[in-house]
Structure 1
């Protein structure tokens, strides 16, 4: 099985920030990162300390989002630098890892 070192990046956002479409376009189309996933949270605590919950009765437009992507460490370093310059993201976490079965 093929393995290679990668860096996994998690970007924590809120729907109310309205940057998701531009961020996904940047990562997928412009930077062509290897893996990209967007997760929508059902509850989160923001920097302001307030809960941002989802409810069946009332759908919030400010739920938490997590954008994850991975690629080779050198590529991720370049992408994250440009991400910060372009989007001024407040919560970005980078984690080292191994990718299995990725060509």
Structure 2
């Protein structure tokens, strides 16, 4: 899907180990799966090295950490119509975290022909 023009960026700030109710997968995986299944233009998960949220506890990646609960951000860019359609479902999955929406202009969003079927 090629998207250009007015768009929106949704950022979802959550913990790496957060899960949706009834799911065994990390919440970020469930969010990406939902967005892909519903035809979103594109989304990426970024893993933070350190951060804190509403609880003000600092989470820091250290070599000795076996299973850290680091901050992650799922960033999704799409048309305002897609964001309006999917955001309520995304919001319902996020029980602890922050969701922001920014207006932007999508200058170019294309993919290689070989990726169209994947």
> How far 1:16 sits from its partner (Å)?
2.1
- Residue 7 of structure 2 aligns with which residue? 6
TM-score normalised according to structure 2 size? 0.76
Deviation string 1:9-64 (CA, Å, 9 cap, x unpaired) is 000010121312211111112x2211211100000012211100001232442000
- The reply to whether residue 82 of structure 1 matches residue 89 of structure 2 is yes
Q: Mark the CA change 1:55 to 1:96 in structure 2 (over 3 Å): closer, same or farther.
A: same
* Structure 1 alignment gaps of length 5 or more: none
* Higher RCO structure (Cα 8 Å, ≥6 apart): 1
- Structure 1 moving runs of 4+ over 3 Å: 86-90
- Residue 72 of structure 1 aligns with which residue? 79
Considering fraction of residues, name the structure with more helix: 1
* Structure 2 alignment gaps of length 5 or more: 20-26, 111-118
- Residue 113 of structure 2 aligns with which residue? none
TM-score normalised according to structure 1 size? 0.86
CA contact (8 A) 2:59 2:70 kept: yes
- The reply to whether residue 41 of structure 1 matches residue 48 of structure 2 is yes
Secondary structure at the counterpart of residue 75 of structure 2: strand
CA contact (8 A) 1:53 1:60 kept: no
